[in-house]
Amino acid sequence: MAKNFVQGTTAADIESAMTPVGGIALNCRLITERPNVIAEITFETKEGADNVVDTFNNQSVSVDATTSCVFD
């Protein structure tokens, strides 16, 4: 789960920010859009998913001029 994206962030925005670190994303879907966006993203490999968590956990991330703090 990736959460705390500001409203208006799309699944494509999240996927484009995460795939350079995690590799191929098999799926990215928004779970909620209000009050903040929460997304579920599935990577092709566990290593890719682990890289994303290691890189972005408790970090501020710029996604299409928005800021988020991610990962559970």
CB 47 within 8 A of CB 3: no
| The pLDDT of residue 71 is above 80 | no
The sign of the torsion formed by the CA atoms of 62, 10, 23, 44 equals: positive
Tally of CB atoms within 10 A around 15 = 17
CB 10 within 8 A of CB 29: no
Q: What is the pLDDT of residues 51-69, one digit of tens each?
A: 998 988 877 766 665 555 5
What CATH architecture applies to the domain 2-69?
A: 2-Layer Sandwich (3.30)
- Per the listing, tokens 């795939």 go with 19
Percent share of the chain, pLDDT over 70: 83
